[in-house]
Amino acid sequence: MKSVIKGAGYILVHTPDMVLHNGTTQTTERIVNPESEYLKELPSHIRSFDQALSYWPNQVYIGNKHPDELAEVAQPWCDKACDVSDRFGPFGQMMPQEEFLLLMQACDVFGLVKLEQGFADAHRAALAANPIMDETILARIPEAQTAGEEIARLVNEEHSEGLYHNGALVGCVNRAHDIDVNLSAHVMHENLVSKASSVMALLSAVKNAGIAKEDVEYVVDCAEEACGDMNQRGGGNFAKSAAEIAGLANATGSDARGFCAAPAHAMIEAAALVASGAYKTVVVTAGGCTAKLGMNGKDHVKKGLPIMEDMVGGFAVVLTQDDGVSPEVNLDMLGRHTVGTGSAPQAVISSLVTNPLDKHGLKITDIDKYSPEMQNPDITKPAGAGDVPLSNYKMIAALAVKRGELQKTDLATFPVKHGLTGWAPTQGHIPSGVPYIGFARNDIMAGKLNRVMIIGKGSLFLGRMTNLFDGVSFVIQANTGAEKAEAGVSEDEVKGMIAKAMKDFAATLLAQAE
Amino acid sequence: MSILAGKKVIIIGDRDGIPGMAIEACAQSAGAEVVFSSTECFV
Amino acid sequence: MDLENQKRVKEFAEQYGPENIVVLLGAAEGEASGLAAETVTAGDPTYAGPLTGVSLGLTVYHVCEPEVKAEFDDAVYDEQVSMMEMVLDVDDIINEMSAIRDEHCKYLG
């Protein structure tokens, strides 16, 4: 059986106040250097929602612009307004902070999110008007909210994590336990943001795939947060928690973790679950990460740039059994970085790119497009991390030259022909290969591309449990329709043929008897 | 005089440049003792 | 540079003596290399970590610089790093690193 990509959803949430209050670069600075110039300068570098809407990479993320169009725009992009500034796009949407705070409350099942009455009343209608929202989700937001004084008291006296909008305290997330740090207000805030953005992605993907919510049988969450209590710190299960709010009543699920490589792992697992027949429809989902908001803010502020890491990201991909038209995941062409691969960049790239191709006698140039780590270079270049996707393409091209599959003179054109310009926010797992799946599906179905490779890489060493690196890759290809052709005769037809043969046989017997 | 032979080496690798473990192998091949190796990640 | 890494650098410099330490970097480009080199020589330029205001003056090289490359086993370097020379702007890295070394290293032979 084959598994196909039925649809994808991509969402962003503009969270300027969370940059200031929840991004680790800022929270760390506030501890070690509370009077720093950076903290004083930072607020004047925050973008408005309108600026976030007209930011080129954001419009690509939600599908209003194609990566090929972005590649035509000269960098930097932060000083250019995109000619499209719609909030909604074919893949999903950009949600403003005020609506998202209400959605966070809708996603809270433990009464932890408190909103100021006036704030909730002012923005409830806006969330209700959101096309992916329904009555069930909206009904989860209580009519009676909290007084401003009580919220201030909770933040000042009860360790609650403040929720801010335009610099004002408009709510808070309470701790879920007085002693357990795993249920602290900070952790609950981080996890509720991840969950709420995952819910948005799930709802968008299910809608885009044109399936019913009831069809979803399994959800895999591949974000980078952990939920649990002191007795099971990473107990999970974000997947099922988000599926519950999204109304996927027939789904169960589980969490897959692996730093930035997790989405690629999850995609392979989901494709295998469908291909094995275990579940007919599986959705891979991930919400975003508050910790990484403003991660490279110091460099951006120093260089007079806006804070571009102000978007929480989310994505979801729906995988189903073969429909005869949607692009398929080729489970026979998987790349994997193993324990024995080592960390030499060329060994890493070989394990992920050429090993699976070699198995099928394919050359590096036989893959139309590679989607490794699609971080937006507008963010990473000023921060000293370079152009991450471009570095990946240079490595793949260098390997192709070494293997004699590419002329050295074609090194410079390889990233243009087989690569993409990065557009995804630096939300760790969010940019990791998967932002391209939506475009890849469209372009393969339009006959523009035949084969694309999605590559996920993960910095496992950050968890201090291993010094190893990690990564897996998989290929999405045009639907070969082979199963349909092979099937040729359906089960019903076979039954019909047998019945006819039996009838004929019986008739013959009867005739003979007569 | 050699730079690395017999020295204690601290390695700060980069996930998007050269990872720590790859530098480790090089340093050891030059006769240095690696006392610490780490890889940073900016994305 | 990561705060934990700064702490470790400081501890090892105290434990073994700064003159016995060499720091090898693998940063992805020139400016980042220069900032890391500055951190272990003049002190943390971002004023965030344990090396803020601490001028260790350690000897520091990027792994792609010719001085240290000459001391590596060729086969090992070829296997572990060489491909990245096609990816990184090595000249830019060398320029940044040399400038920091000339100004802040205290133990160059």
Chain A residue with CA closest to C28: the answer is A385
Residue A486: per-residue pLDDT = 47
pLDDT at A489 over 90: no
Segment A55-75 shows an average pLDDT of 98
* Interface A-C: count of C-beta contacts within 8 A: 50
pLDDT band, residue A514 (cuts 50/70/90): low
C-alpha A5/C-alpha A209 separation (Å) is 9
Residues in chain A: 514
Is position A64 within any domain? Answer: no
C-alpha C91/C-alpha A332 separation (Å) is 42
C-alpha C51/C-alpha A340 separation (Å) is 36
pLDDT at A406 over 50: yes
Q: Does C37 touch chain B (CB under 8 A)?
A: no
C-alpha A24/C-alpha A34 separation (Å) is 14
Residue A357: per-residue pLDDT = 98
% of chain A at pLDDT higher than 70: 97
Segment A389-398 shows an average pLDDT of 94
Q: Strands B8-14 and C21-25, how do they pair?
A: parallel
ipTM of the complex: 0.96
C-alpha C38/C-alpha C30 separation (Å) is 12
pLDDT at B43 over 80: no
Is position A454 within any domain? Answer: yes
Residue span of the structural domain in which A411 resides: 328-487
Element (H, E) at A370: strand A369-371
Residue A487: per-residue pLDDT = 47
Question: Tokens standing for A240?
Answer: 């099922």
* Contact in structure between C9 and B10 (CB atoms under 8 Å): yes
Segment A208-236 shows an average pLDDT of 97
C-alpha A109/C-alpha A192 separation (Å) is 10
pLDDT at A484 over 60: no
Q: What angle do CA A215, A218, A220 make, to 5 degrees?
A: 135
The minimal CB distance from C32 to the residues A28, A346, A385 is found for: A385
Hey, are the CB atoms on B20 and A373 less than 8 Å from each other? no
Question: Tokens standing for C28?
Answer: 């992805």
In Å, how far are A18, A77, A86, A451, A471 from A292, measured between CA atoms? 10, 20, 25, 32, 21
Eight-state DSSP code of residue A87: S
Question: Tokens standing for A335?
Answer: 């790349």
C-alpha A285/C-alpha A282 separation (Å) is 10
Segment A337-343 shows an average pLDDT of 95
Q: In degrees rounded to 5, what are phi and psi of residue C83?
A: -60, -30
Residue C64: per-residue pLDDT = 97
C-alpha A115/C-alpha C65 separation (Å) is 56
Element (H, E) at C32: helix C30-41
Of residues A52, A70, A67, the one with CA closest to residue A440: A67
Residue A492: per-residue pLDDT = 67
pLDDT at A388 over 50: yes
Residue A490: per-residue pLDDT = 63
* Contact in structure between A441 and A318 (CB atoms under 8 Å): no
Residue A256 makes CB contacts below 8 A (sequence gap 6+) with A220, A221, A222, A262, A265, A266, A269
Eight-state DSSP code of residue A492: H
pLDDT at A374 over 70: yes
pLDDT at A465 over 80: yes
The minimal CB distance from A461 to the residues B16, B17, B39 is found for: B39
Query: C45: cis peptide before it, omega within 30°?
Result: no
Residue bearing tokens 């999110």: A113
- Measure in Å the smallest separation between the Cα of A29 and chain C Cα atoms: 7
C-alpha A20/C-alpha A95 separation (Å) is 18
Subunits next to B (3 or more Cβ pairs <8 Å) are A, C
Contacts 24+ apart (CB under 8 A), A35-44: A36/C47, A38/A297, A38/A298, A38/A301, A41/A301, A42/A294, A42/A297, A42/A301, A42/A307, A43/A167
Per residue in A231-275, pLDDT (tens digit) is: 999 999 999 999 999 999 999 999 999 999 999 999 999 999 999
C-alpha A46/C-alpha A96 separation (Å) is 14
Question: Tokens standing for A154?
Answer: 């909770």
C-alpha A170/C-alpha B34 separation (Å) is 51
Residue A485: per-residue pLDDT = 47
Q: In degrees rounded to 5, what are phi and psi of residue A507?
A: -60, -40
* Contact in structure between A360 and A277 (CB atoms under 8 Å): no
Report which of residues A384 and A453 the model is more confident about: A453
Q: Does B20 touch chain A (CB under 8 A)?
A: yes
- Measure in Å the smallest separation between the Cα of C8 and chain A Cα atoms: 14
Segment A7-22 shows an average pLDDT of 98
Of residues A215, A242, A421, A423, the one with CA closest to residue A316: A242
C-alpha A52/C-alpha A86 separation (Å) is 10
Hey, are the CB atoms on B21 and A467 less than 8 Å from each other? yes
Per residue in A127-169, pLDDT (tens digit) is: 999 999 999 999 999 999 999 999 999 999 999 999 999 999 9
pLDDT at A11 over 60: yes
Per residue in C53-95, pLDDT (tens digit) is: 999 999 999 999 999 999 999 999 999 999 999 889 999 999 9
* Contact in structure between A382 and A303 (CB atoms under 8 Å): yes
Q: Please report, for chain B, the start and end positions of each structural domain, with discontinuous segments joined by +.
A: 8-40
Q: Among A89-93, A214-218, A373-377, A510-514, name the one with the lowest average pLDDT.
A: A510-514
Q: Does C85 touch chain B (CB under 8 A)?
A: no
Element (H, E) at A71: helix A67-71
Q: Strands A281-286 and A311-321, how do they pair?
A: antiparallel
Question: Tokens standing for A462?
Answer: 């950050």
pLDDT band, residue A488 (cuts 50/70/90): low
3-class SS at A309?
Answer: coil
Q: Among A74-78, A383-387, A491-495, A500-504, name the one with the lowest average pLDDT.
A: A491-495
Q: Strands C21-25 and C59-62, how do they pair?
A: parallel
Q: Does C80 touch chain B (CB under 8 A)?
A: yes
* Interface B-C: count of C-beta contacts within 8 A: 118
| DSSP letters for C63-79 | TTSHHHHTTS-HHHHHH
What domain count does chain A have? 1
pLDDT band, residue A112 (cuts 50/70/90): very high
Subunits next to A (3 or more Cβ pairs <8 Å) are B, C
Eight-state DSSP code of residue A403: T
* Contact in structure between B18 and A346 (CB atoms under 8 Å): no
